[in-house]
Amino acid sequence: MARTLQRRLVDDFDWPLFLVVAVIATVGVMNLYSATSARTGALSELHIQQIYWVAVGAGAATIVASVDYRVYERYAYGAYVATIAALVLVFLLGKSIRGTHRWIQIGSFLFQPSEFMKLSLLLAVSRYVHRLPRSEAWTFRELLAPGALIAVPLGLIMAQPDLGTALIVGLTSASALMLVRIERQTFWAITVGGGISSVLLWEFGMKAYQKERLTAFLSERVDVQGSGWQAHQSMVAIGSGRLVGQGFMQGTQNQHRFLPDTHTDFAFSVWAQEQGFLGSTAVMLLYLFLVLWGLRIASLAKDRFGACVAVGASALFFWQIIFNAGMVTRSLPVVGVTLPFFSYGGSSVLTMMLAVGLLMNVSIRRQAW
């Protein structure tokens, strides 16, 4: 006990992490201001809401960072079970918006349990990895339990249906699991099995409109008026941003409302049109730094739980960015995935901030006491 907790927090505070998140969040709020400037009514005030959420998230992150993460390790399964319960509740008393069941209303706040499942599941999987101190390659037997941990919430979220969030939840925890060495045979078995079940799901489990949405980005001749409208207008926005952009608040695609969902899924398209290739690349580099820094924190963690959580948090950012930016540049199908700190949304900002808090937590406690 060489130093007090207070001193530790101050001395080992992870300034690069803090700064990169602060910059991204600031740019995100600014962009949101522009993105909603063409809207009227409540929508035009969204950037204020977002500032509140960033502040609330920062506070939550501070608390999360302060408590030793081993406490989370201890209560990981409890949190997991509680979030599963919330997911079940969504079906029982959830609010239906556009035919999907994703939200629970608490007061005036729409709470989205699937967002928090991203972290709950990560903690549970990390705990499992932590508690199984087996350094030789894992086989099916060891993978069975984490597999089940992932499968249950994945099924629940896909039933909402919310393909995008399910994808992120699954990929985040699967990425964390990739830390452990898996027996080659098992690895290939899972890969092949996953491939076959994907094909089966495609053939029998999906409706035509879902398939169409997933493949729309592949075809050159897009139905611009119909299913390809969003992605097309996004491409128009990004492409017409050219090298240096049309200038803050000047993006025509947003100002003339050709872009849909500028405050959530397509916030980056507004940025890309107004700031051009230079601006969008700058943001991508900031994100890359965030992800790499997260992975660095993981490699410096003092135990397996910390490393696992840090890898998971970094993976969470990585996949959100890949799918959102991939979607708006028509490189990937349009699945509703938010861009961290760019997209409006309380649950989303809170989740991302909590992930930052976890990273900070692991970073501060990287040296043995």
What are the distances in angstroms from CA 31 to CA 38, 247, 330?
Answer: 12, 11, 21
What are the distances in angstroms from CA 109 to CA 72, 88, 101, 165, 187?
Answer: 26, 18, 15, 19, 42
CB of 139: closest distance to other proteins in angstroms? 16
Q: Which is nearer to other proteins, 164 or 279 (CB)?
A: 279
CA–CA gap between residue 41 and residue 43 (Å, rounded)? 5
Q: Which is nearer to other proteins, 179 or 214 (CB)?
A: 179
CB of 176: closest distance to other proteins in angstroms? 10
Q: Which is nearer to other proteins, 101 or 130 (CB)?
A: 130
Residue 182 DSSP code:
B
CB of 285: closest distance to other proteins in angstroms? 8
Q: Which is nearer to other proteins, 93 or 184 (CB)?
A: 184
Q: Which is nearer to other proteins, 3 or 70 (CB)?
A: 70
CB of 319: closest distance to other proteins in angstroms? 9
CB of 42: closest distance to other proteins in angstroms? 19
Q: Which is nearer to other proteins, 14 or 346 (CB)?
A: 14
Q: Are 12 and 364 in contact (CB under 8 A)?
A: yes
Q: Which is nearer to other proteins, 82 or 288 (CB)?
A: 288
CB of 186: closest distance to other proteins in angstroms? 16
CB of 55: closest distance to other proteins in angstroms? 28
Q: Which residues lie below 8 Å from residue 282, measured CB to CB, with a gap of 6+? A: 275
Q: Which is nearer to other proteins, 17 or 90 (CB)?
A: 17
What are the b/e assignments for 66-97, b being 16+ CB within 10 Å?
eeebeebbeebeebbeebbebbeebeeebeee
Tokens 């199908």 label which residue? Answer: 333
Q: Are 176 and 126 in contact (CB under 8 A)?
A: yes
What are the distances in angstroms from CA 342 to CA 135, 194, 272, 284?
Answer: 39, 32, 12, 12
CA–CA gap between residue 185 and residue 178 (Å, rounded)? 15
Instruction: Using CB under 8 A, list all residues that contact other proteins.
Output: 38, 68, 70, 130-131, 133-135, 175, 178-179, 181, 225-226, 229, 233, 235-243, 250, 252-253, 255-258, 272-273, 276-277, 280-281, 284-285, 287-288, 291-292, 295-296, 298-299, 301-304, 306-307, 311, 314-315, 318, 321-322, 325-326, 329, 331
CA–CA gap between residue 53 and residue 341 (Å, rounded)? 10
Q: How does DSSP assign 110-175, residue by residue?
A: EE-HHHHHHHHHHHHHHHHHHH----SPB-HHHHHHHHHHHHHHHHHHHTTT-HHHHHHHHHHHHH
Per DSSP, the three-state class of 14 is coil
Q: Which is nearer to other proteins, 241 or 346 (CB)?
A: 241
Tokens 């398939």 label which residue? Answer: 211
CB of 309: closest distance to other proteins in angstroms? 12
CB of 260: closest distance to other proteins in angstroms? 9
Q: Which is nearer to other proteins, 118 or 127 (CB)?
A: 127
CB of 30: closest distance to other proteins in angstroms? 19
Please tell me the total number of residues recorded for the chain in this structure: 369
Q: Which residues lie below 8 Å from residue 127, measured CB to CB, with a gap of 6+? A: 73, 76, 77, 305
Structure tokens at 9: 């927090």
